[in-house]
Chains A and B, each alone.
Chain A
Amino acid sequence: MPLDESYLGRVSQPSPPYQVGREKIREFATAIGERSPMCHDVVAARAAGHPDLVAPPTFTVVFTMPRIEALLREPAFGWRFEGTVHGGQTIEFHRAICAGDELITTVEVKNLTIRAGTHMLTLRCESSDQFGKPVCATEALLLSQADGDTV
């Protein structure tokens, strides 16, 4: 199945809300060795002016990756999912992510190029909270062998 270049510019439907939970923040912070009390202790987070536990910056992977994977696995798109390489990542915040946020995410195919047998794809995820306010935006640069090439 060749890559469908008409996906360029396409924006996904908004995701169902992702509920940011305290234990998920603690689990993620522990996995990356982040010991800040603001990621583990609600009292400390509130004392620092946050409504609840604060998620580390790269927590965005938790709720964006399922949306990205769903797009990459759409048969009509023709992306070779197996062997996809993560080439780069940007994360921008309007504010920190906190427990209690319900994040709704869209995925946009921002860039799609074929160069020397390699597909390069930039996917932009924009997430807003349950009040419609923007929270963060991420961009993932992904690389995959063009169809027909040997891996």
Chain B
Amino acid sequence: MDRKRNKISLNGWQFVAIPSALILLFSFYPMVQSLLLSFQSGKGSVYHYVGIDNYIRLLSDPIFKQAVFNTVLYLVVQVPIMLLIGLVIAQLLNNPKLRFKGFYRTAIFLPCVTSLVSYAVLFKSIFAVDGILNKMLVSIHLIAEPVAWLMDPTWARVVIIAAITWRWTGYNMIFYLSAMQNIDPSIYEAASMDGASKFRQFFGITIPMLKPIILFTAIISTNGTLQLFDEVVNITKGGPGNATMTISQYIYNLSFVYTPNFGYAATVSYAIVIMVAVLALFQLKIGGEKR
């Protein structure tokens, strides 16, 4: 490596040192503590060292398995749908000739400003048996009688997926829209002149140009879904049965709802860390980082 490059690299540390130190302090120090805790078991403030017993328990824990299954299901179904819708909408809104685009943009973004409590109160009342959705579906004769959405395992999962998609599509769209500002409009003009259809422009220009940011949202969404908690707790409480329970909710239950076993809760958390890390690496590989 030549000397000039070395100097540039050294220059870089002044930008990254402080932020990195802060993350190391406020995230890694607690993470190491929690790793140590994952080798202990007990209740509340009474703990003893149990080696890898917690990890063994994890492998034969039916609730954990159910939670992993649900979480992966959300991941596989919801993330691709949401990202694709977000991209399509961003592309449509990025058209300077489109009318009312300010309205659409605001409308579609708005769901993600709602706080958790609001979100839960709203969705529960909309999907209630007597709720407005059932009333509307009955009145247009799509269904004969009200559906108890949240009592059926399949429908309950559909509601959760719909809720997450509702809340986070606009959020992802924002990232795409802001990244699209860096695409030179003349590229599209040239493509149009060459007679490329909108579909071709979308797949041939937009997606490749936005690759870094698509990768970013994919990793963030994967991460978010694997840590999915608030939506489920507030809308279905994990029910019916444990049909919608997620890994994060299980961690929460182990720590704060059940007789607290923070040791085992830490073990379950590390299971998430490992899963996210593997998926993120995988996505980075497929995403084809240049270097």
A binds B: no
Binding site for A on B (CB under 8 A): none
Interface residues of A (CB under 8 A from B): none
